[in-house]
Amino acid sequence: MRASYTIGSLLLDRLYQLGLKHVFGIPGDYVLTLYKLIEESPIEHVGTTREDCAGFAADAYARLHGIGGACVTYCVGGLNIVNAIACAYAERSPVVLLSGSPGLAERVHTPFLHHMVRDFSTQRDVFEKVTVASVILDDPLTAERELDRALTALLKYKRPIYLEIPRDVVLTPVQVSSPTPPTTAECESNPAALKEAVTEVRGILSKSERPVVLAGAEMYRFGLQNDLTALVERMNAPVATTLLGKSVIREDHPLYIGVYGGLVGREEILEFVDQADCLLTLGTLLTDIEDVNVHSKLLAAGRTIHATADSIAIQHHRYEGIRFEDFIRALSTAPLPSFPARPLPTQDRIEFEAPTPDAPVTLRHLFGYLDGLLHEKTVVVADVGESLFSGADLHVRRSAEFLAPAYYTSMGFSVPAALGVSVADPSLRPVVLVGDGAFQMTGTELATCLRRQHAPIVIILNNRGYSTEREILEGPFNDIHEWHYDKICEVLGGGIGHRVETFGALTRILDSAMADTRHLHVLNVILDPQDRSTAMTRVGQRLAKRLMPS
């Protein structure tokens, strides 16, 4: 037994041992004592301009680093970060949210304290809906057990957890039975069930001629990218990804065919996957954006293998007692059939004909030219709308080089996410794709990038409004006030702003920004409000139908 820990120091020690090296957030009086402990710990605090920005930054950090963290004060901070934590929950990103709260002693004498909403449990009640574990560390006798229970859930499900500490117990001594954090080793798969599942997969594949693997984001969340590559190479099977899973496998891999999704995928990819006689959907979230109709067809025919962290389903039944990670690793080493090579959809660059230098810049020009500039040290961070849908066809050069809220689709993700990327891996250069509406929400986080001397390239698609909503239902409510985005660097006191109106300016400025790794660059790209990508048109038309009465 050890008594050298306090509740606060135990918490930080556990997180540091699990790999958390940075925590994003904004201080407040209910969390200042914990902030002081963070300052004295090996974990570095990264101050942000808004709490939701801290959440998005922690989310992106977790996607690259395996665990992320944010620390905010009670209610006014905590309830500001709910949306970002909901995004992390929906898209399986292991973020630890730390929150202070009123001290236990002061609650007795003053039932109405500042920042309160309804009662002292309100904030925790909210976060119970968007986390896999929500714990209040208010008792030294149970603190270690409750903390480890929450951390086990974080590791097992790769989703956020909520840890609240009343401010007057942060420094309370606690007896610790184990100096190390929990692991998922105790949750091993049932060997017999795992063997039977792999055998059944082998039987299905032995009767197939045109299998296709559809990989999703969970392959990266659980560190299974190499296993995925090994699996498709052993089978010689084509592999597509969902939009959320884009870049989970190298996009220059000879078996990679592109992004599959009924709303955003290229027609030749949709047709190729739809013609599969066996579909292995691995780590995928089958959403309305993906619109994976082929899965339903093959499921009815008993020709699907659908594996996620929540369930392993083969043909018409589910297997219990099998961990997702164990199943994928077992498949990658099993003696599965190897299939003859067959013609695959082409992996050409985004096609566009370079116009004259004085031609107005278009989405096709922008993404076509940008596609040729990406390399192994660039990370594309896309917001929602045209940033995401046009970005789907960009060819990233290595695994996990495309980050976007492609399922939850929350505007404002990209700029703070670029901060999280730069903190997680300073060797990577974020290329941010963000609409003008989304930039107006969270673009202030460029100040933190400047403060920390980060140098993202921020490309603002300035079409004076919400393009996705325009495509679904036009109206003046989709218009926004136009900022002089190229002047934002003057306000922030650093970086270089550019106004881009022509193709010649685009090529010159992008080339210069890519070569200059010392400075943040902001490109205000002036687009025709009616300019649309093919993917955006398809998404908008499909969503518009849902608004019409039947």
Is residue 211 within 8 Å of 231, Cβ to Cβ? no
Q: What is the reported pLDDT for 3?
A: 46
Which residue type, as a one-letter code, is found at position 369? Answer: Y
**What pLDDT, on a 0 to 100 scale, did the predictor assign at position 392?**
85
Q: How does residue 329 score in pLDDT terms, banded at 50, 70 and 90?
A: very high
Positions of E strands within 326-405: 378-382, 402-403
- Domains of the chain from N-terminus onward: 2-172 (3.40.50.970), 190-333 (3.40.50.1220), 363-547 (3.40.50.970)
Of these ranges, 41-45, 180-184, 387-391, 407-411, the one predicted with the greatest mean pLDDT is 41-45
Q: How confident is the model at residue 185 (pLDDT cuts 50, 70, 90)?
A: low
Give the pLDDT score at 549: 55
pLDDT tens sequence across 64-76: 999 999 999 998 9
**What is the pLDDT of the chain when averaged over all its residues?**
89
Check residue 130 and give its pLDDT.
97
- The 10 Å Cβ neighbour count of residue 364 is 17
pLDDT band at 550 (very low <50, low <70, confident <90, very high): low
pLDDT of 162 strictly over 80: yes
Tens digits of residue pLDDT in 98-152? 999 998 888 777 777 777 777 778 999 999 999 999 999 999 999 999 999 999 9
Specify the pLDDT at position 535. Answer: 72
Cβ-based neighbours of 366, under 8 Å, separated by 6 or more: 390, 459, 461, 506, 525
Burial of 325 (0-12, 13-18, 19+ CB in 10 A): buried
Q: Cβ-count burial of 153 within 10 angstroms (0-12 exposed, 13-18 middle, 19+ buried)? A: buried
% of the chain exceeding 70 in pLDDT: 90
Phi, psi of 360 (to 5 degrees): -60, 140
Query: What is the helix, strand, coil percentage profile of the chain, to 5?
Result: 40, 20, 40
Rounded CA-CA distance 501/197 in Å is 57
- Examine the pLDDT at 226 and tell me if it is beyond 90: yes
Tokens 């109405």 -> residue: 112
Per-residue pLDDT, 290: 53
In terms of pLDDT, which residue wins out, 435 or 187?
Answer: 435
**pLDDT computed for residue 1 by the predictor:** 36
Burial 446-462 (b: 16+ CB within 10 A, else e): bbbbbeeebbbbbbbbb
What contacts 203, CB < 8 A, 6 or more positions away?
A: none
The C-alpha atoms of residue 99 and residue 34 are separated, in whole angstroms, by 9
Q: Give residue 233's pLDDT.
A: 96
Alpha carbon of 139 to those of 131, 164, 172, 241: distances in Å?
Answer: 21, 12, 9, 46
Long-range contacts of 268-273 (CB under 8 A, 24+ apart): 268/345, 268/346, 269/240, 269/345, 272/212, 272/238, 272/240, 272/344, 272/345, 273/212, 273/214, 273/240
Q: What is the pLDDT of residue 347?
A: 64
Strand 173-176 versus strand 2-6 pairing type: antiparallel
Q: What local confidence, expressed as pLDDT, does residue 543 receive? A: 63
Residues 70 and 46: their CA atoms lie apart, in Å, by 9
Cα–Cα dist 81/217, whole Å: 23
Cut 0.85: pTM above it: yes
Q: Is the pLDDT of residue 536 over 80?
A: no
Diameter of the chain measured on Cα atoms: 76
Structure confidence at residue 286 as a pLDDT band (50, 70, 90): low
Residue 198's pLDDT is what?
96
How far apart are the C-alpha atoms of 177 and 182, rounded to whole Å?
12
pLDDT of residue 236: 97
Please give the share of the chain, as a percent, with pLDDT higher than 90: 69
